[in-house]
């Protein structure tokens, strides 16, 4: 940061007087009296900042708020976006609004709060948003966190209301508006905005978090369109990685995994908000570590590269996709054997993603395929039907999990592991319905130090992950543009490597 003159490191409520007298950051210069006076005058209004939300969103958020309202007909409902979090000293992490808040409003700004006021069996919404200090106000120049000159303007209250199509007030109105409700048992999404929690000391979750996660299980058409966009951008990011892969293979002077992580991240920033979760880029034996996100390894020739990466759109919907690539552009026989087994398992899983099926059906189908191959290879010492028996007390049950480690599916949406607070009967023990979006992501992981595995298979890790929508008919694979067939994957890599980056 090149901020030589700011006086306001952390306290955006700093008074003009204090701003003139204090230098709160160690590297700041004091603002002279003359400068402070000069900065207060002779400005035209700061250029307005259009609200970034899509114009077609408002009818969907209105419907979502109505559905929430119906579940809590008499309650004051309060859902905050959350606040900036300190990374170190006076620097913060990039802000990312709470998922339920954005789902209900389309807003993504820090400190914003949605309040649904009960009114005759329904609710009247008000969105409170932070305004930034404008030209002529002292903090226009002096505040690092809310000075429009310092960090850029934000959309006005009026423009926010016009785009999101709901009543909007400045954040300064929140405290007085909530004062009559201090003794009220409000339903608050707690633990996200500490200042808000203190405004409503009797507020409790009251089942709100669970209700919101259950409402979010079924995606509307707008959300599926955004998830498709996330998958399309993710597909382009994978092509970027495939294109740059040859440049890092075998380069001991480069941290090849880190380079490729950066390659994907650039695509995520170009086409969306960010990556939806920390990218996993594991070459060679790192592919057998499920959450390998140190991404600091060398990409050795002849190894496999497992990339689990997803672009999060500006509206905060994320893809969650994994491909495992042979870095030198050809499969070694042992690698191909494992890859084909995982692909067969994934296909069996995807075919179970249909309305009326158990959520766990895809997992069962994928595990039966994998256990069959493991047994055939002499790795699994019991028949697959024994290992896949759901009765944990049966001798031999679950032994295949040593090599598969994780479940095959989770819901996907604004959160990569979406709707985690939904009750089991609505989610993991429930039934699939049109509008559910889930991953299908089986894997086989042979640890390099596993004595139960034939030496030629040790150190091989393969996962294939796609994002699938439940429809009234066949499953719709949002990430289908990325090939999964091992031959098509090689052809796709060659095409990417023959293409120009821009």
User: Which residue ranges make up the site for Mn ion (CB under 5 A)?
Assistant: 320, 439
Asked whether 29 and 2 are in contact (CB, 8 A), the reply is no
How far apart (Å, rounded) are the C-alpha atoms in residues 424 and 406?
18
Q: Which is nearer to Mn ion, 160 or 439 (CB)?
A: 439
Taking the CB of residue 423, how many other CB atoms lie within 10 A of it? 12
Q: Which is nearer to Mn ion, 28 or 320 (CB)?
A: 320
Helix (H) or strand (E) holding 256: helix 256-271
Q: Which is nearer to Mn ion, 251 or 291 (CB)?
A: 291
Q: How far is the CB of 406 from Mn ion (least distance, A)?
A: 9
Q: Which is nearer to Mn ion, 123 or 410 (CB)?
A: 410
Q: How far is the CB of 283 from Mn ion (least distance, A)?
A: 19
**Mode of pairing for the β-strands spanning 280-283 and 304-309:** antiparallel
Q: How far is the CB of 409 from Mn ion (least distance, A)?
A: 8
206: left (phi over 0), alpha (psi -120 to 50) or beta: left
Q: How far is the CB of 480 from Mn ion (least distance, A)?
A: 16
Q: Which is nearer to Mn ion, 291 or 494 (CB)?
A: 291
H-type helices in 303-332, by residue range?
A: none
Half-sphere exposure (Cβ direction) of 384: Cα atoms closer than 13 Å: 15
The token duo for 341 is 């087994």
Cα dist from 267 to 277, 344, 361, whole Å = 14, 30, 34
Q: Which is nearer to Mn ion, 58 or 290 (CB)?
A: 290
Residue least distant from Mn ion (Cβ): 320
Q: How far is the CB of 444 from Mn ion (least distance, A)?
A: 16
H-type helices in 154-199, by residue range?
A: 157-164, 174-178, 194-199
Cα dist from 108 to 96, 112, 315, whole Å = 7, 8, 8
Q: How far is the CB of 309 from Mn ion (least distance, A)?
A: 10
Q: How far is the CB of 320 from Mn ion (least distance, A)?
A: 4
The residue whose two tokens read 């994934």 is 346
Among positive and negative, which fits the CA dihedral 226, 227, 230, 232? Answer: negative
Q: Which is nearer to Mn ion, 178 or 464 (CB)?
A: 464
How far apart (Å, rounded) are the C-alpha atoms in residues 148 and 151?
6
Q: How far is the CB of 339 from Mn ion (least distance, A)?
A: 18
**Mode of pairing for the β-strands spanning 86-88 and 91-92:** antiparallel
Q: Which is nearer to Mn ion, 104 or 411 (CB)?
A: 411
Asked whether 481 and 366 are in contact (CB, 8 A), the reply is no
Classify burial at 186, counting beta carbons within 10 Å of its beta carbon; exposed 0-12, middle 13-18, buried 19 or more: buried
Among positive and negative, which fits the CA dihedral 297, 300, 304, 305? Answer: positive
Q: How far is the CB of 308 from Mn ion (least distance, A)?
A: 7
Q: Which is nearer to Mn ion, 200 or 280 (CB)?
A: 280
**Mode of pairing for the β-strands spanning 77-80 and 168-170:** unpaired
Q: How far is the CB of 462 from Mn ion (least distance, A)?
A: 15
Residue 33 has what DSSP assignment?
Answer: H
Q: Which is nearer to Mn ion, 241 or 440 (CB)?
A: 440
Q: Which is nearer to Mn ion, 417 or 494 (CB)?
A: 417
Cα radius of gyration rounded to whole Å, the chain: 26
Q: How far is the CB of 321 from Mn ion (least distance, A)?
A: 8
Q: Which is nearer to Mn ion, 406 or 458 (CB)?
A: 406
The token duo for 239 is 């092509």
First to last CA, the chain: 29
Q: How far is the CB of 410 from Mn ion (least distance, A)?
A: 6
3-class state of residue 63 by DSSP:
helix
């Amino acid at each position: 940061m090149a901020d030589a003159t700011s006086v306001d490191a952390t306290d955006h409520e700093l008074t003009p007087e204090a701003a003139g007298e204090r230098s709160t950051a160690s590297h700041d210069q004091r603002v002279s009296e003359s400068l402070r006076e000069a900065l207060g005058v002779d400005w035209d209004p700061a250029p307005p900042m259009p609200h970034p939300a899509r114009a077609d969103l408002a009818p969907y958020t209105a419907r979502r708020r109505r559905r929430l309202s119906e579940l809590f007909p008499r309650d004051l409902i309060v859902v905050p976006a959350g606040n900036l979090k300190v990374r170190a000293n006076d620097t913060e992490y990039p802000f990312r609004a709470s998922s339920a808040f954005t789902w209900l409003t389309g807003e993504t700004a820090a400190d914003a709060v949605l309040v649904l006021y009960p009114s005759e069996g329904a609710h009247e919404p008000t969105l409170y948003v932070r305004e930034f200090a404008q030209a002529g106000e002292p903090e226009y120049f002096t505040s690092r966190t809310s000075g429009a000159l310092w960090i850029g303007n934000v959309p006005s209250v009026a423009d926010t209301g016009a785009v999101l199509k709901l009543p909007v007030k400045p954040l300064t109105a929140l405290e007085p508006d909530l004062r009559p409700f201090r003794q009220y048992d409000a339903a608050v999404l707690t633990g996200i905005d500490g200042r808000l929690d203190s405004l409503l000391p009797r507020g409790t979750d009251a089942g709100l978090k669970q209700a919101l996660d259950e409402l979010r299980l079924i995606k509307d058409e707008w959300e599926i369109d955004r998830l498709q966009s996330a998958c399309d951008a993710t597909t382009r990011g994978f092509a970027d990685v495939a294109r740059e892969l040859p440049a890092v293979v075998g380069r001991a002077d480069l941290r090849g995994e880190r380079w490729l992580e950066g390659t994907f991240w650039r695509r995520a920033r170009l086409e969306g908000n960010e990556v939806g979760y920390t990218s996993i880029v594991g070459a060679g034996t790192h592919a057998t570590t499920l959450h390998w996100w140190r991404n600091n390894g060398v990409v050795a020739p002849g190894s496999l590269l497992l990339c689990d990466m997803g672009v999060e759109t500006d509206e905060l919907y994320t893809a969650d996709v994994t491909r495992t690539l042979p870095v030198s552009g050809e499969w070694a026989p042992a690698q191909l054997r494992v890859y084909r087994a995982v692909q067969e398992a994934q296909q069996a899983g995807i075919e179970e993603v249909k309305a009326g099926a158990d959520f766990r059906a895809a997992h069962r189908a994928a595990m039966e395929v994998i256990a069959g191959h493991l047994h055939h290879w002499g790795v699994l010492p019991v028949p697959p039907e024994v290992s896949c028996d759901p009765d944990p007390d049966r001798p031999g049950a679950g032994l295949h999990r040593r090599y598969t480690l994780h479940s095959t599916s989770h819901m996907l949406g604004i959160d990569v592991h979406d709707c985690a607070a939904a009750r089991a009967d609505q989610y993991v023990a429930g039934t699939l319905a049109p509008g559910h979006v889930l991953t299908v992501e089986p894997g086989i992981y042979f640890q390099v130090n596993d004595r139960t595995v034939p030496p030629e298979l040790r150190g091989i890790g393969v996962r294939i992950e796609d994002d699938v929508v439940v429809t009234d008919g066949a499953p719709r694979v949002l990430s289908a543009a990325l090939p999964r067939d091992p031959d098509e994957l090689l052809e796709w890599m060659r095409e990417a490597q023959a293409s120009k980056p821009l």
